[in-house]
Each structure stands twice: as C-alpha cells, then as structure tokens.
Amino acid sequence: MTEQSNGRQPVALVTGATSGIGRAVALNLARDGFEVIVHGRDAGRGAATVDEIAANGGRARFVAADLADADAVTALAAEVGEVEVLVNNGGISWFGPSAELDTETFDHLFDSNVRAAYQLVAALAPGMAKRGHGSIVSIDSMAGHVGLAGGAAYGATKAALTAMSRAWAAEFSPSGVRVNTVAPGPVFTAESKRDLIENLAGTTLLNRGAHPEEISEVVAFLASDKASYITGAVIPVDGGRTAV
Ligand SMILES: NC(=O)c1ccc[n+]([C@@H]2O[C@H](COP(=O)([O-])OP(=O)(O)OC[C@H]3O[C@@H](n4cnc5c(N)ncnc54)[C@H](OP(=O)(O)O)[C@@H]3O)[C@@H](O)[C@H]2O)c1
C-alpha cells in the first residue's frame, strides 16, 4: 500500500513505537510506504525511531501520550486524525506472585493495555469504516492463551484485547476494516526482561526467543493488502509454544 486514491500517503499509527516490537513495526511499515506516527512517551527514543525511518527514506513523526491517561489518549486520537492502519502495541507487563500485585498496578495494566486500545479503536475505526477500508492489528501475547505463573493480570489484559478485537472485527469488518491480533511468544526487547525471556524461550518448540523483526513482519503482512481476506484472526507467533 503506497498511495491512497486521494493521492495522500497512507498513515499508520503505531503505539509504543519507541522501542522493542513497536519500533520494529514502525520501521517495517515505513519501508512498506506508510507515513508512520511513532507513539510513545520517551521523546529521545521517539526521535531516534523517526530519524532511522527518515534515514531509510521514509516519513514519520513522533507523538507523545501516556496510554494510562484517558485524556491523553483522547488527545492522541485527535492529533493523528485519519489513519489507514492502527497498531495497538504499546503496553506494560508485570510478572510476580499474585499476592504481590497491588491494585494500583493492576489498574495501570488494564488502563495501558486494554482501555487505551479501546479508546483508540473507538475514535479511529468509525472513520476507517466510513472510508471503507483500514487495518487494525493489536499485540496480544501467549500469556493471554496459556497460564503463566505470575502472569494472571497481564494475561487477562491480553485475553481482553483479543476478545475486543474479535468484537471489533464483527463490528467493523462488514464496512471493510480488517481487525486482527498477533500473539507473540517471548521476544528479546527490554534488557530488564532478559532473564524472563530466556526462561520462556526454553519452553517454545523452537527453543529460542524471537527477535522483534520476526513479530513485525507478521504485523506488516496483516496491515497490508496481502492479508485482504484475514479478519477476526489471532495469529500466534510464538515458536509453537501454544500448540502444545
Ligand atoms: N517482549 C515480549 O516478550 C512480548 C511478548 C508478547 C507480547 N508482548 C507485547 O508486545 C508489546 C510491546 O512489548 P515490548 O517487549 O516491545 O515492550 P518494550 O520494549 O518495553 O516497549 C514498550 C513500548 O510501549 C510504550 N509504552 C509502555 N507503556 C506506555 C504508556 N503508559 N504510555 C505510552 N507508551 C507506553 C513504551 O514507550 P516509552 O518507553 O516511550 O514510554 C515503548 O515504546 C506489549 O504490548 C507487550 O505486552 C511482548
């Protein structure tokens, strides 16, 4: 997808694009011809992603917003305006004994991972439906499909995201908007999570963790017209972890 019928370059909003999977998705979509709105909180990492896209000959701009702040997410949706692609990637994880998760952190998980995606789809999908096309991809996790010790609340946010995506597919796909989720297994992103990822990597059939690009390629496919008959799907990209 490189040009709209009105001549405008198609636009993709990628939340949490200042690092990890989101950053890889932003780079991928820019290569595929999208103007990318790089979202996150850290302006320095945002600028680095935008600069890398520009150095590769693409177009991008950074927009900051705290996903846990409902008013900030409303402002983000207003700022981006019309988009052809929305990637709900930004979010946080928390693993630990259930007895140690305080209610504030529990709410923060759901605000960032669930409510923000709901707000963005509610604000942006009707425009896509009106224009008759669009693609929404949300980043779930294998934690939303199997029981991981210490991941009850995080897994619940991801299961919620996937449940919402199926409902959004039912709501918006008759108007030409495809809505899908990608459920990664362990992916090497933030250095602080390396031990957790290494442990989970050993539970996959491929016996390794993924690189962010192995997730972003699938997201870019779902965002593209190559996936024109795929909607309401959950695509595991987890080294076979949830197959067994
Ligand atoms: N890594 C894995 O193993 C794995 C596996 C399955 C699913 N996932 C999912 O994939 C997504 C990306 O994970 P990742 O590992 O790539 O994470 P990451 O490297 O920690 O990056 C998280 C991104 O989300 C943004 N973000 C987090 N909380 C935010 C908030 N409240 N407001 C605005 N931006 C926020 C961060 O922006 P700033 O830093 O600029 O604030 C950053 O760009 C998440 O939804 C995660 O649950 C990850």
| Domain residue limits, the chain | 11-185+213-243
121-155 pLDDT tens trace: 999 999 999 999 999 999 999 999 999 999 999 99
CATH class, range 11-185+213-243 = alpha beta
Q: 162: closest CA among 177, 189, 134, 184?
A: 184
* Positions marked catalytic: 154
Ligand 1 atom closest to Cα of residue 42 = 40
Query: For ligand 1, which residues put their CB under 6 angstroms from it?
Result: 16-22, 40-42, 45, 66-68, 89-93, 112, 139, 141, 184, 186-187, 189-190, 197
Report how far ligand 1's centroid is from the alpha carbon of 16 (Å).
Answer: 6
List the residue whose alpha carbon is closest to atom 41 of ligand 1.
41
pTM listed for this prediction:
0.97
Instruction: Specify the pLDDT at position 18.
Output: 98
List the residue whose alpha carbon is closest to atom 11 of ligand 1.
89
182 pLDDT more than 90: yes
